[in-house]
């Protein structure tokens, strides 16, 4: 470990001596739930601002976040994706628990009830900005903030109105608008996409309202976001390199699959400011419901789930002196959630699958959850050149589980399955409690007027998700899961010199009690993994017309625990779906202030498809072209060409014992055009 730290410091110092960039002050809220200059934050944060979001005009959030080092979303069909932030692409019932996804500082889902695709419930398409904190979060974040935090900021109330119309390949169309009356603002988008594969269309509607009130020492900001998604889902295509076969890439082997999602979040941030302190109280309520056909499972069972939750965030910000600031507070929330799984037809396939996966009801349970978490964080300016921060959080999570079916691995009516029993197992009703501590300690050094460095230690955690505890299989009747924990060390530098701006970070993280499904199909929590890498982001203004942006990640994610799979001990192997390198480079030309052309190169390195590291996807390189032209102060037109070279590639590749290699084929070359009006 000491040798690794020494190497990281040497590499950081080398980059520091040769790179820098123009100083552009940005404000973020993702670290402290309050507007903070990005230059004051100890850690790695990237902001995809409104200008970049307008240029990309993403149809899928992956297109916007590909500009961020360390972030690697694998796009699925429609609005689906699998996440990775300083991590391999995480899958499974609890994979989403490695990341905290927020909108306006409010988690999109309640703790313990995340969804792997949950960013499609945030109004990213008309966002003011998207903030990405890479690595373990602060003590203000709590459960799930292990690998990273993504916060979508909806537009504040503004007197300017906006209307955008877009059209593109495969019957794609979108309407976006923003407007305001007095202190009430609205931002909305409505999208229809026919999909480039058979039976893969979706319709999506998102509306965000913001209200602002400001008195002498009282400020109230409120927000409401409502979303709806109706998606016809295309599944994997199968066979080695099937994504290169033109006769297969448009096929949908699961035309019956669909996903319907509805969500709503209402919050109000009440701030009272005095001379040396500020009290911020943010109550919120959330609602979510999702029905989707699990086309990736034998029998295509239907899952129906929903959550209703209410909570509050309390923060007390106080200046103890000119050099010491403290943040103290607590988070609390209650959740009422349910999950049902059923199958309306006999399972197709082998006699074993037909015997062990019956039609009818598989799961039907309700979970009432309670979370309470006090925290404290201290910032101390030791000198003009050095600031130290530290914090501590305790979080208590309780699940009250109510099984509404017969317990055990039987059919819904109590009869037994053949071949040893049914696949799906229902534990008896009961309660589970998880208590966790998180902490962070960091220091920032002002090395010169234009360069700074930092070092940060942090411990994060996540409680087991409800589905990991109560959605069991085979002979497992009870779980004995511990919370996952993450210990991380990170060092970085940032700076500017003339026309060059950079940010570099090097990290090492070790995760314990990793929850996974073992070879007996039991949910267990005795896994260990290691994550280390280096990230570089820079922007270089070559001259008044040309600029270059680069986001590069070099990382390795490995198994530390010894597990034998297929006669292979996976200890030391790369985690599956964990490319060692990926990144993007963007060359922009602005011949005049009202015109811009951007050429983006995206590179995805090779990665293994299974823990044994016996099967591999070779990676790909894509080129995208974007152009915008402001015809007047009030009108702008643009055109985007995705996959300019019409490359055959896979958005996602994996391997299963039954299906062998399988892929989500990437979108062929496609064109999107649009026009925008402001007034």
Mean pLDDT in the chain? Answer: 94
Confidence category of residue 649, pLDDT binned at 50, 70, 90: very high
% of the chain surpassing 90 pLDDT: 92
Q: Specify the higher pLDDT residue, 399 or 10.
A: 399
Confidence check: pLDDT of 207 > 70:
yes
Which tokens sit at 457?
A: 């230690």
Instruction: State the fold for domain 2-678.
Output: Maltoporin; Chain A (2.40.170)
Confidence check: pLDDT of 196 > 60:
yes
Confidence check: pLDDT of 117 > 70:
yes
- Contact at 8 Å (CB) between 570 and 559? yes
458 phi and psi angles, rounded to 5 deg: -150, 150
Measure the N-to-C terminal CA separation of the chain; round to a whole number of Å.
57
Distance CA 292, CA 303 (A): 6
Q: Which pairing describes strands 148-153 and 99-103: parallel, antiparallel, or unpaired?
A: parallel
Predicted pLDDT of residue 13: 37
Nearest to 530 by CA among 501, 498, 564, 573: 573
- To the nearest 10°, report the CA torsion of 490, 570, 97, 112: -130
Q: For 170-185, what is each residue's pLDDT tens digit?
A: 999 999 999 999 999 9
Domain segments of the chain as ranges: 2-678
Predicted pLDDT of residue 152: 98
Q: For 271-281, what is each residue's pLDDT tens digit?
A: 999 888 999 99
Confidence category of residue 578, pLDDT binned at 50, 70, 90: very high
Predicted pLDDT of residue 24: 54
Predicted pLDDT of residue 2: 37
Q: For 125-154, what is each residue's pLDDT tens digit?
A: 999 999 999 999 999 999 999 999 999 999
Secondary structure of 399-431 in HEC code, one letter for each residue: EEEEECCCCECCCCCCCCCCCCCCCEEECCCEE
Predicted pLDDT of residue 21: 37
Confidence check: pLDDT of 391 > 90:
yes
Confidence check: pLDDT of 332 > 50:
yes
Predicted pLDDT of residue 1: 41
**What residues form DSSP beta bridges with 272?**
218, 279
Q: What is the mean pLDDT of residues 586-609?
A: 97
Distance CA 240, CA 32 (A): 47
Predicted pLDDT of residue 11: 37
Q: What is the mean pLDDT of residues 474-488?
A: 95
- Contact at 8 Å (CB) between 274 and 217? yes
Predicted pLDDT of residue 14: 35
Which tokens sit at 113?
A: 């009830």
Q: What is the mean pLDDT of residues 620-628?
A: 98
Nearest to 258 by CA among 226, 229, 298, 236: 229
Q: What is the mean pLDDT of residues 367-387?
A: 97
- Contact at 8 Å (CB) between 13 and 445? no
Distance CA 534, CA 503 (A): 11
Distance CA 131, CA 543 (A): 28
Confidence check: pLDDT of 523 > 60:
yes
Element housing 63 (H / E) = helix 61-65
Q: For 435-464, what is each residue's pLDDT tens digit?
A: 999 999 999 999 999 999 999 999 999 999
Alpha-carbon distances, residue 550 vs 69, 292, 588, 661 (angstroms) = 9, 38, 11, 32
Q: What is the mean pLDDT of residues 643-658?
A: 93
Q: What is the mean pLDDT of residues 362-373?
A: 98
């Amino acid at each position: 470990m000491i040798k690794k730290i020494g190497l990281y410091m040497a590499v950081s110092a080398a980059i520091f001596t040769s790179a820098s960039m123009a100083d552009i002050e940005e404000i973020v809220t993702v670290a402290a739930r309050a507007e903070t200059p990005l230059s004051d934050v100890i850690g790695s944060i990237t902001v995809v601002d409104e200008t970049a979001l307008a240029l990309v005009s993403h149809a899928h959030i992956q297109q916007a976040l590909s500009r961020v080092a360390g972030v690697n979303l694998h796009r699925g069909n429609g609005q689906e994706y699998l996440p990775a932030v300083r991590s391999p692409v995480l899958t499974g019932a609890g994979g989403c628990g490695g990341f905290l996804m927020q909108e306006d500082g409010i988690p999109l889902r309640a703790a313990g009830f995340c969804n792997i695709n949950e960013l499609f419930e945030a109004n990213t398409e008309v966002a003011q900005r998207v903030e990405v904190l890479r690595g373990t979060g602060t003590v203000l974040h709590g459960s799930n903030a292990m690998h990273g935090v993504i916060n979508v900021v909806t537009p504040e109330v503004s007197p300017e109105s906006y209307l955008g119309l877009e059209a593109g390949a495969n019957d794609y169309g979108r309407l976006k608008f923003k407007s305001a009356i007095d202190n009430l603002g609205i931002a909305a988008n409505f999208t229809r996409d026919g999909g480039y594969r058979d039976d893969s269309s979706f319709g999506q509607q998102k509306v965000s309202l913001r209200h602002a009130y400001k008195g002498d020492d009282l400020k109230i900001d409120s927000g409401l976001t409502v979303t709806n998604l109706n998606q016809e889902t295309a599944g994997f295509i199968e066979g080695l390199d099937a994504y290169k076969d033109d006769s297969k890439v448009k096929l949908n082997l699961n035309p019956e699959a669909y996903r319907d999602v509805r969500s709503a979040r209402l919050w109000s941030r009440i701030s009272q400011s005095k001379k040396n302190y500020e009290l911020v109280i943010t109550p919120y309520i959330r609602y979510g419901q999702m029905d989707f056909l699990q086309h990736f499972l034998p029998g295509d069972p239907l899952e129906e789930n929903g959550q209703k939750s209410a909570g509050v965030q309390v923060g007390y910000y106080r200046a103890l002196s000119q050099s010491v600031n403290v943040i103290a507070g607590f988070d609390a929330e209650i959740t009422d959630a349910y999950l049902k799984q059923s199958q309306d037809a006999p399972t197709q396939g082998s006699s074993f699958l037909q015997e062990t996966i019956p039609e009818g009801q598989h799961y039907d349970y309700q979970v009432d959850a309670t979370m309470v978490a006090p925290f404290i964080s201290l910032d101390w300016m030791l000198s003009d050149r050095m600031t130290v921060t530290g914090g501590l959080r305790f979080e208590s999570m309780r699940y009250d589980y109510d099984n509404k079916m017969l317990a055990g691995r039987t059919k819904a009516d109590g009869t037994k399955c053949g071949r040893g029993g049914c696949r799906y197992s229902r534990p008896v009703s009961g309660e589970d409690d998880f208590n966790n501590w998180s902490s962070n300690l960091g220091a920032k050094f002002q090395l010169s007027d234009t360069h700074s460095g930092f070092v940060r230690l942090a411990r994060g955690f996540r409680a087991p998700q409800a589905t990991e505890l109560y959605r069991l299989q085979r002979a497992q009747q009870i779980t004995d899961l511990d919370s996952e924990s993450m210990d991380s060390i990170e060092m970085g530098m940032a700076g500017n010199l003339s026309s060059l701006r950079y940010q570099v970070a090097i990290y090492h993280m070790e995760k314990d009690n990793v929850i996974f499904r073992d070879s007996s199909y039991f949910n267990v929590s005795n896994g260990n993994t290691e994550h280390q890498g280096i990230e570089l982001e820079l922007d270089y203004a070559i001259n008044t017309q040309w600029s270059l942006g680069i986001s590069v990640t070099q990382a390795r994610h490995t198994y530390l625990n010894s597990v034998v799979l297929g006669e292979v001990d996976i200890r030391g192997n790369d985690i599956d779906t964990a490319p060692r390198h990926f990144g993007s480079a963007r060359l922009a030309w602005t011949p005049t202030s009202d015109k811009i052309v951007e050429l983006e190169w995206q590179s995805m390195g090779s990665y293994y498809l299974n823990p044994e590291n016996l099967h591999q996807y070779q990676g790909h390189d894509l080129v995208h072209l974007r152009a915008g032209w402001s015809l007047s102060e009030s009108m702008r037109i643009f055109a985007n060409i995705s996959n300019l070279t019409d490359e055959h590639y896979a958005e996602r590749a994996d391997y299963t014992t039954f299906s062998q290699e399988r892929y989500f084929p990437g979108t062929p070359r496609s064109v999107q055009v649009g026009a925008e009006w402001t007034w």
